[in-house]
Amino acid sequence: MPRRKNQDDHQSNLPFAQTPAERALARAEQEAAEAAAAAKAHEETAHNDGVGGGSGGGGTPPEAPIARHYKKWFLEYASYVILDRAVPHLDDGLKPVQRRILHTLWEVDDGRFHKVANIVGATMRYHPHGDASIGAALVGIAQRGLLIEPQGNFGNIYTGDDAAAPRYIEARLTPFARDVVFNPKTTTWQLSYDGRNREPVTLPVKFPLVLAEGAEGIAVGLSTKILPHNFNDLCHAAINHLQGKRFRIFPDFPTGGIADFSEYDDGQRGGKVKVRARIEQRSKYLLAITELPWGATTTSLIDSILAANTKGRIKIKHIDDNTAEAVEILVHLPQGADPDQVTQQLYVFTDCQTSISPAACVIENDKPVFLGVSEILRRTTDRTVALLKLELEIQLGELEQQWHWDSLERIFIEERIYRRIEKSQTWESVLEEIRTGLQPFVKNLRREVTDEDIVRLTEIRIKRISAYNRFKADEQIKKIEDEIKQVKHHLKHLVAYAVAWFEKLQEKHGKKHKRRTQYDEIEQISAASVVAANQRLYVNREEGFIGLNWRQHEFVVECSVLDDALCFMADGSMKVARVADKVFMGRDILHVALLPKDGDPYFYTMVYQDKESGKAFAKRFQIGGVTREKLYPLVPSEGSKVLFFDVAKAEASMPKKLTIYLSGRCSARVKEFEFDLSELTVSSRGAKGVTVTKYPVRTVKRA
């Protein structure tokens, strides 16, 4: 029974420092005390109002009782969600709902399957949060197959299909769960939420179950994500730890795939795991996805491939999903496609490659702690050793007790002590006669004879005395002595016993837990290097739009969906944007081109009429660094007009001379002249340039 705490105790300790039962009890006591105090304050206030003749005494009104409840409600709620809902306990690796499901299965276990609906209903005696959460948790455990053996449609981890209704499916404990998870003699018990039943605080699990099963949960203010690990790897790592050797463990996902653990960082916060689907090339134009990255289903994977195809990032013909017991997604490619390039595109643009961020958080001593998976394995292995020691000590005590009783019974029968009680008239005299008869033989026993021992001797039936076989009794005692000797040897060599325990466990249950995930270094693939140029860029110069696959407008160039388009407008502005179905760049587009990924190498020549000064200027420039979707002015004043624009691949090929034609209405005597550009240097895009003329220009042509 949890220790009762007073109100001061409850207020001076954080909720993490108490067990759930203690917190509930303390909270109830606090609420009762606050209600009593509020009632007393209300009575005093009413009395003072009656005596003083109103509320004009100037005192501060008492705080409403309900207001005090809201001062700590968030902390208590956060504590409850963290401890009792979302985060697994380090000792057994289970969340409360999982622990209660397994405890219920153990209570009803008879070797046969049980309806999941019945299991859910029985579990609600311990878990008062509805049947949906219990059923979902049970299906999740059964799908992993380590603790619960399913029968029926439990869904499919590959396709994401849901399980059948609880009334149609059945489950029972696995042999591994019976061997490792339960032992009433070493279990710490507490009362259930309504006080009608006993439930375990934690189950005495003798295995790093939290790493084998994995865990994921979102609480208030923190979350946990522990990736699943391979059964045999954990056994090997536990043995290495017990033997003082170094070890490393990496996750093993039920869906297989390829993973890069170079940045795993022992499963701590900030680490990262890259996971890939396994893609095979079946023929020249057929790819097969046979294993999934962890966290993806065939449905989500196919949707991501179709979305990438729609956006033009990859090009496929169609997809067939043949997944049943094993994953098989067939990706048919169009004629002329390169299977190797498409494979790379699938990794870059779809869910065929994803990244997982682990954050191993567990409950230890009623507090959430973040640990690396290596430290979790060390602590759970040490707990396994402690549980094995406790079991041996209990077994030793039981054997010594049995040896004591068998020895007393042997003395009682062989020395015919039972005849001493034939003339006894009272119960006290019977006990005294037996005690006196045993006195000469007490020195051969390992402990003193108690009243309970004597009473037990009186309960031996005459039939057993008459059928007593001294040889069999000696053999039984000898067998018990051998067992005692063996248990003491195990206690003396506890580490070796624990190593043998893990070896036996692996030999018995490890054959069906072969590693599925291959770990390998995954190189970073540049999206720009694998994207296909399977789009066509068009431009509507007058209205100022660019877009993909507009057959009714002017074709510009073949491109990919990752390309950037560069546009120069007649008003002297410039803009860069990612190509898309339709993008507004600016009216009266003079020049449009794709911006190279490594920077624009081209040289530009521009003559423009400045709106503010009225002069015409000429300049040569390169654009330099730019930001997408930002409008860059290349002229000093708004309303200016570009008269001449030229693009050259090299500085030597830039125009040397221009013919300037002035407006016929200007006052200049010479209306046509040549302008030498050879003296101009290449400057930045924001440069003003050199003056060509102060008069309005009608047109400019290459000389």
The pLDDT tens digits for 223-279 are: 999 999 999 999 999 999 999 999 999 999 999 999 999 899 999 999 999 999 999
d(CA 63, CA 511): 66
Looking at the structure, do residues 486 and 562 belong to the same domain, yes or no? no
Looking at the structure, do residues 409 and 505 belong to the same domain, yes or no? yes
The active-site residue, picked from 70, 168, 264, 468, is 168
Q: Which residues have a Cβ under 8 Å from the Cβ of 294 and sit 6 or more positions away?
A: 227, 251, 253, 254, 255, 257, 259, 275, 354, 356, 517
Looking at the structure, do residues 473 and 399 belong to the same domain, yes or no? yes
| Residue 505 placed within a domain | yes
| Residue 521 placed within a domain | no
One-letter amino acid at 180 equals: V
> Following DSSP, what letter does each residue of 121-166 receive, concatenated?
HHHTTT--S-HHHHHHHHHHHHHH-SSEEEES----TTT-PPPPPG
One-letter amino acid at 99 equals: R
DSSP 8-class letter at 448: P
Q: Which residues have a Cβ under 8 Å from the Cβ of 303 and sit 6 or more positions away?
A: none
| Count of all residues that appear for the chain in the document | 703
Looking at the structure, do residues 312 and 297 belong to the same domain, yes or no? yes
| Residue 42 placed within a domain | no
Looking at the structure, do residues 346 and 306 belong to the same domain, yes or no? yes
Domain boundary among 598, 620, 639: 598
Question: What is the average pLDDT value for the chain, to the nearest integer?
Answer: 87
pLDDT, position 521: 72
d(CA 328, CA 332): 13
Q: What's 345's domain CATH number? A: 3.30.1360.40
Is residue 309 pLDDT above 50, yes or no?
yes
Rounded mean pLDDT, 318-330? 92
Looking at the structure, do residues 332 and 277 belong to the same domain, yes or no? yes
Domain boundary among 578, 598, 618: 598
Domain count, the chain: 4
Q: What's 453's domain CATH number? A: 1.10.268
The three-state secondary structure class of 572 is coil
Question: Each residue of 390-414: pLDDT tens digit?
Answer: 999 999 999 999 999 999 999 888 8
Looking at the structure, do residues 576 and 677 belong to the same domain, yes or no? no
pLDDT, position 15: 37
| Residue 698 placed within a domain | yes
Residue 50 to residues 43, 245, 660, Cα–Cα distance (Å): 11, 80, 103
Looking at the structure, do residues 585 and 612 belong to the same domain, yes or no? no
Rounded mean pLDDT, 565-579? 94
Is residue 615 pLDDT above 50, yes or no?
yes
Domain boundary among 547, 563, 598: 598
Rounded mean pLDDT, 162-173? 95
Is residue 177 pLDDT above 70, yes or no?
yes
Q: Can you give the pTM of this predicted structure?
A: 0.75
Domain boundaries, position 307: 273-356
Cβ–Cβ contacts within 10 Å for residue 384, how many?
A: 22
Rounded mean pLDDT, 677-696? 91
- Residue 201 near residue 379, CB atoms below 8 Å: no
Looking at the structure, do residues 468 and 445 belong to the same domain, yes or no? yes
Please state which of the ranges 328-332, 379-383, 551-555, 600-604 shows the lowest mean pLDDT.
551-555
pLDDT, position 250: 94
Question: Each residue of 494-550: pLDDT tens digit?
Answer: 999 999 999 999 999 999 999 999 987 776 665 656 676 678 899 999 999 999 878
pLDDT, position 670: 87
Is residue 32 pLDDT above 80, yes or no?
no
Handedness of CA 239, 241, 245, 251 (dihedral sign): positive
Looking at the structure, do residues 624 and 701 belong to the same domain, yes or no? yes
Looking at the structure, do residues 387 and 452 belong to the same domain, yes or no? yes
> Following DSSP, what letter does each residue of 4-35 receive, concatenated?
P--HHHHHHS-GGGS-HHHHHHHHHHHHHHHH
168 carries an active-site annotation: yes
| Residue 140 placed within a domain | no
Looking at the structure, do residues 628 and 697 belong to the same domain, yes or no? yes
Tokens of 297: 């289903």
Query: What torsion, rounded to 10 degrees, do the Cα atoms 130, 136, 139, 140 define?
Result: -130
> pLDDT band at residue 598, thresholds of 50, 70 and 90?
confident
| Residue 686 placed within a domain | yes
Handedness of CA 520, 526, 527, 530 (dihedral sign): negative
| Residue 554 placed within a domain | yes
pLDDT, position 69: 63
Please state which of the ranges 63-67, 82-86, 252-256, 629-633 shows the lowest mean pLDDT.
63-67
**Residue reference for tokens 């007790």:** 401
| Residue 619 placed within a domain | yes
Question: Each residue of 443-472: pLDDT tens digit?
Answer: 888 889 998 988 999 888 888 888 888 888
Is residue 160 pLDDT above 60, yes or no?
yes
